[in-house]
Structure 1
Amino acid sequence: MDVDYIIVGSGSSGSVLANRLSEKHRVTVLEAGGSDLLPYVQLPLGYGKLFYDPAVNWMYATEADPGLAGNRDHWPRGKVLGGSSSINAMVYIRGHRADYDEWGQAAPGWGWEEMLQAYRAMEDNEAGADAYRGKGGPLFISRNRKGLHWLVEDYIAACGEAGLPYNPDFNGAEQEGAGTYQMTIKGGRRNSAARAFLRPAMGRKTLQVLTKAHVTRVLFEGRRAVGVEYVQGGETKTLKAREVILSGGAINSPQLLQLSGIGPGEVLSKAGVPVLVDNPHVGRNLNDHQGINYTWEMKVATYNGILRPWWGKAFVGLQYLLTRGGPLAKSINHGGGFFRTSADEPRPNMQLYFQAFSTLIPRNGERPLLTPDPFQGLSIGLSNCRPTSRGHIHIRSADPFAHPEIVANAFSTEKDVAEMLLAVRYLRTIAAQPSFARWIKQELRPGPSVTSDADMIQDFRERSGTVYHPSCTARMAPEGEGVLDHHLRVRGVEGLRVCDASAFPNLIAGNTNAPAMALGWRGAELILKR
């Protein structure tokens, strides 16, 4: 045995696990990507440059999706220290407490009270400690109140006029309302899971982190996991451990389970992989939030005017270098909110994103956050919090370097379509309120001609896409309904766990970075107790 624990993946959950387990045990982290010490990774608004960058991004694509008008959706996932927490939009949302009540029903020990304790223990919230927020933990969370575009205040006021009141803390007592997002940003730099958890632990003799080490399969003796095989620098190597923990994310973890013989027997046999455990749930129950932006041309200045011209880039660059402030030190999502499309909904089922600039005109090889449209544009986006559509992840072959088949099945249920139609109509309701309407010159997307139900549905099928929260593909669930037990152990084998967003019993209402880190924190507690 080379080490006590092997952790496959250094993302949101893996970095937390590495930090906590290496306090008492010998741990090796295997990361397929490279270092996160790159300018556009550290620069908060730089993540637009990483959207199509294979140096830090797995660059996945779904199969053609009828629910998205036949489009293939681009799914960026982090292939770098910190995983997707190193390339995401840095919004820090826990989710609704009822989401965790459902977790606890599916997996004892994962309910709201247990997860609240995990959040409060790991957080260092700039807003201070209270019954919901933590202070003094390893993860600094920006309150995100300073340096926001002035239109955020009018957006929040317009939401209030549209019946959605101000909420000062989406992670507090209530989720519903409009306000500003807390961010994983510290000192003007991205505060990824690698920065907050992994790098502080890398000085320990008990922790080894190997980069550009692509794990190709889990090694077994009988039905006990004893290590992994990986490729690094063109050489195939093996590493043995007392226990193997997969933290590669909602795509990579079920893919690696299937490559190792754990998954739907028919899929594995077709791919030429010997079946060790026939479990049809591995790769199933893929659940993801779908989002869309509505965009307006404004009568007043948005960030387009300062971020697009060369002199504007020079100004904000100098501002950032001198003060660690300005637009470059923020995410695009300055404001947001949560609302219900119907009074019959027991809790919010839609999330809002306010962006004080627009990117309708694409640029090759990037999402043009640093070069927005050549007019004063502004977008308000939304995504569904609790979609009922389900997809799957299946390997195509035994080749560990081949991307798996990703079938998203977006908007494949009548409920998802119906609630999205109500939601996009509400975007126009917000924009029509006095506090916001006074600044609008014209609606650009989808445009004033799109008004009928059929046309609005067709529009969101054509323009919607993932908001990068795939989850639940190796979920914790009662036996016969999932992949993992409530200790994150893979059923049917020993010495193997999964700890990442694939383990979520259900999809959280909100951004998934915070829940994935909390899953790593709580998972480490369970492992250490044993």
Structure 2
Amino acid sequence: MTTDFFDYIIVGAGSAGCVLANRLTEDPQLRVLVLEAGPADHSLFIHMPSAFAYPLANDRYNWYYHTDPEPFMDQRSMYCPRGRVLGGSSSINGMVYIRGHALDYEGWASRPGLANWSYADCLPYFRKAEHRARGGDAYRGDSGPLKVSTGACRNPLYSAFIEAGQQAGYAYTDDMNGYRQEGLGPMDMTVHKGRRCSAAVAYLRPAMKRPNLQVRTRALVARVAFEPGSSPPRAIGVQVVNGQRIDLLRASREVILCGGAINSPQLLQLSGIGDPDALRHLGIAVLAPLRGVGANLQDHLETYVQYACKEPITLYGAMNWRAKLRIGAQWLLQGTGLGATNHFESGGFIRSAAGVRHPDLQYHFLPMAISYDGSAPASFHGFQAHVGPMRPTSRGHVRLRSADPKEPPQILFNYMATEQDRKEMRAGIRLTREIFAQPAFDRFRGRAVCPTDAVQTDAEIDAHIRAHGESALHPSCSCRMGSDEWAVTDGSARVHGVAGLRVVDASIMPDVVSGNLNAPTIMLAEKLADTICGKTPLPRSDMPYFVHPQYKSVQR
């Protein structure tokens, strides 16, 4: 297909964009174009699960964003990687498959205009998307495109973490994506036969075999184009940077933005949709005055609780070049071994205090002491738990620096701006120390590395978080759904005040969910694909979910 006229233009081949490309082109009469600013996803470092730190830590497949100085984090400019490649962030993330808690979606549905986003409405779409290696049930899917497996937990440290949690009084959960999220147990990952199952692998590659789908890489969209004089303004396509030229690509039905929580609000503002005063200041004509564009930005902050390990069984032994060669060869030849896992094989969710209805702290356990993106290499045998609050009350923003689409936007999360967030993070560190102090870790536990045992008071813990806290890489909510004056889209993802334009990605979440965001983003794209295509929604689920019966009076 060589025409520049399409029914739908999808901007961004990330998690949501890949889903929409697949589902919309199931109708052979629809012509769909996907535009991705980055390259194809051919690198072995993308497809080898244990190598995810490489694409995560450089700008080849990554927008490589950094925040403005964070005022409550010692003025640090913090790293905010976003995928710029086929598959988007699903091609560079840690491959953790977590759906969030049922009550997150009940909270969405309690907002005006969002009644059809309840857990009962969303669960069928999680199941539709998923192909679980262990088989499906009333909560889990077994025939969807997205391949999901569960960590084998062969290293004894994984089991020690789960056992220590039980010794500390927390429940064991064998499926934190099923009936019961609360507790510690094995974790799921988007890995299939030892390879990353990104949204590009699961959805886009199969759809690219269809003649009615066209995918263009290295295509930077400058702005959405609108029909002159239309009322309300109607999107008719996009303007794409082509060297020194701007090309117009037309969409007869809709333009759908799938750029994520940073790029979607950036593109809306470049197109004249946003806070009118800010747009006028940059010389951008105001098309639709929506103050909520780029506002309400949320993310999960986390910190590492690290200990030295007394036994040489950690991944530190796999960090020398000879070991890496052996691991790489085994993965290439057999698809097995240490290269075939993301190494986040156990973890869980707990509540930080009595009175919290559903878990507000998440754990990822790792049998090594290292930074998430590999920027601080391991130098000793150690282990760590990543812990952080799930429902932050701090809010940030995404704003334009200029009207140049090539210039990165201003990003500020305002991490730790509220006392509630600081309180939950303090609890996270103290409760994690308590878990590591249990008998299950006696044979493994060495000295406390970070934070050290000297960090005890609220003020000392707060200072530690300011200096060492990192993004869990879950930016969201910057174009949130709703019907109030700060909402950007309605419950069907249509942008308020204009026609022919939707946003479908994590930016439309009203509030961040309690967990990693890849699975929820794929779910919402599956659900909205049915909406866009005019299909009857999947039947609602009546499956129950666990809430601690004594949550008001006990913490565990």
TM norm structure 2? 0.92
Q: Which deviates the most, 447-456 or 344-353?
A: 447-456
Does 1:270 find its partner at 2:281? yes
Mapping of residues 143-182 of structure 1, within 5 Å: 143-145=150-152, 148-182=154-188
Opposite residue 416 of structure 1, the aligned amino acid is: D
Q: Map Cα deviations across residues 193-217 of structure 1 (whole Å, 9 max, x no partner).
A: 0000000000101100000000010
Separation in 2, partners of 1:467, 1:305: 22
Q: Verify: 1:51 aligned to 2:56, yes or no.
A: yes
Q: d(CA) in 2 for partners of 1:334 and 1:234?
A: 48
Report Cα offsets for 1:478-510 as digits up to 9, x if no partner: 232310011110000000000000011111100
For residues 251-292 of structure 1, give each alpha carbon's deviation from its aligned partner in whole angstroms, at most 9, with x where no partner exists.
000000000000001111112211111111000000110000
Partners of 1:168 and 1:447 in 2: CA distance: 32
Query: Which among 423, 430, 437 is matched to residue 432 of structure 1?
Result: 437
- Name 1:87's counterpart in structure 2: 92
Please report how far the alpha carbon of residue 375 of structure 1 lies from its aligned counterpart in structure 2 after TM superposition: 1.4
Contact 1:304 1:375 in 2 (8 A): no
Aligned-partner Cα distance in 2 for 1:36–1:232: 21
In the TM superposition, what is the alpha-carbon distance from 1:309 to its structure 2 partner? Answer: 2.0
- Residues 290 and 486 in structure 2, CA contact (< 8 A), matched pair in contact too: no
What pairs with 1:183-202 in structure 2 (closer than 5 Å)? 183-202=189-208
Task: Give the drift of 1:307.
Answer: 1.6
1:139 corresponds to which residue? Answer: 146
Q: Secondary structure at 1:142's aligned position in 2? A: strand
Q: What are the equivalent positions in structure 2 for 1:99-498 lying under 5 Å apart?
A: 99-106=104-111, 107-145=114-152, 148-221=154-227, 222=230, 223-232=233-242, 235-241=245-251, 242-359=253-370, 367-368=374-375, 372-498=377-503
Q: C-alpha displacement at 1:329, in angstroms? A: 1.0
SS in 1 for 2:170: coil
| Structure 1 residue 23 corresponds to structure 2 residue 29 | no
1:238 partner SS: strand
My pick for the range that moved more, 372-381 or 53-62, is 372-381
- Cα shift at 1:45: 1.3
Aligned-partner Cα distance in 1 for 2:315–2:182: 30
Report which stretch shifted further, 199-208 or 306-315.
Answer: 306-315
- 3-state SS of 2:161 partner: helix
The 8 Å contact of residues 479 and 485 in structure 1, kept in 2 or not, is answered as no
Deviations 1:146-202 (A, max 9, x none): x63221111100011111121100100011000121110111111000000000000
Distance 2:154 2:296 in 1: 38
Percent identity over the alignment is: 43
Q: Counterparts of 1:10 and 1:233 in 2: how far apart (Å)?
A: 21
Match in the other structure for 1:2: 5
Amino acid at match of 1:153: S
Aligned CA distance change for structure 1 residues 304 and 122 (closer, same or farther; 3 Å):
closer
Contact 1:31 1:80 in 2 (8 A): yes
Shift of 1:234: 5.2
The whole-number CA distance in structure 2 between the counterparts of 1:254 and 1:412 is: 22
Specify the SS of the correspondent of 2:177: coil
Deviations 1:42-73 (A, max 9, x none): 11111111123211000111111122121110
In the alignment, which residue of structure 1 is the partner of 2:38?
33
1:497 alignment partner, SS class: strand
- SS of match in other structure, 1:67: coil
CA contact (8 A) 1:392 1:408 kept: yes
Q: 2:467 and 2:343 mapped to 1: Cα distance?
A: 23
How far apart, in 1, do the equivalents of 2:90 and 2:244 lie? Answer: 27
- Report the 3-state secondary structure (helix = DSSP H, G, I; strand = E; otherwise coil) of the residue aligned with 2:189: coil
Q: Distance in 2 between matches of 1:430 and 1:68?
A: 27
Correspondence for 1:522: 527
- Counterpart secondary structure, 2:72: helix
Contact 2:151–2:346 (CA<8 Å) still a contact in 1? no
* Maintained 8 Å contact 2:274/2:292: yes
CA RMSD of superposed structures (Å): 1.5
For residue 439 of structure 1, report the CA deviation from its aligned partner. Answer: 1.0
Q: What SS does the corresponding residue of 2:331 show, helix, strand or coil?
A: helix
Q: Is the 8 A contact 1:181 1:333 kept in 2?
A: yes
For 2:178, the aligned partner's letter is G
How far apart are the structure 2 equivalents of 1:12 and 1:96?
20
Cα deviation code 1:383-422 (max 9, x no counterpart): 2110110000011110001111111100111111111111
| AA at the equivalent of 1:484 | T
Kindly indicate whether the alpha-carbon contact (under 8 Å) linking 1:296 and 1:378 is maintained by their aligned counterparts in 2.
yes
Name the SS of the counterpart of 2:424 in structure 1.
Answer: helix
Q: How many equivalent pairs are there?
A: 523
- Counterpart Cα distance in 2 of 1:186 and 1:489: 34
SS in 2 for 1:506: coil
CA displacement 1:356-384 (0-9 Å, x = unmatched): 01226x9xxx6258xx4231111111121
- 5+ residue gaps, structure 1: none
Deviations 1:292-331 (A, max 9, x none): 0011111012434422222222322233233312221111
Structure 1 contact 68–465 (Cα < 8 Å) conserved: no
SS where residue 529 of structure 1 aligns? coil
* AA aligned opposite 1:142: S
User: What residue number does 2:543 align with?
Assistant: none
- Partners of 1:144 and 1:304 in 2: CA distance: 15
Whole-angstrom distance in 2 between the partners of 1:296 and 1:512: 28
CA–CA separation in structure 2 for the residues paired with 1:354 and 1:143: 14
Q: Which aligned segments of 4 or more residues in structure 1 are displaced greater than 4 angstroms? A: none
Query: Could you tell me how far apart the structure 2 residues matched to 1:259 and 1:305 are?
Result: 46
* Structure 2 CA distance for aligned equivalents of residues 110 and 171 of structure 1: 17
- TM-score when normalising by structure 1: 0.96
Please tell me the residue identity of whatever aligns with 2:339: L
Match for 2:119: what amino acid?
W
- What one-letter code is carried by the residue in structure 2 that aligns with 1:98? L
> What is the SS of the residue equivalent to 2:180?
coil
* Deviation, structure 1 residue 438: 2.8
Do residues 96 (structure 1) and 101 (structure 2) align? yes
Greater Cα offset, 72-81 or 470-479: 470-479
Aligned in 2, Cα 1:44/1:232: closer, same or farther, shift over 3 Å? farther
Structure 2 gap segments, 5+ residues each: 536-556
Does the 8 Å contact 2:301/2:415 carry over to 1?
yes
How many Å apart are 1:471 and its aligned residue? 0.5
**C-alpha separation in 2, matches of 1:233 and 1:155:** 53
Give 1:104's aligned amino acid. Answer: A
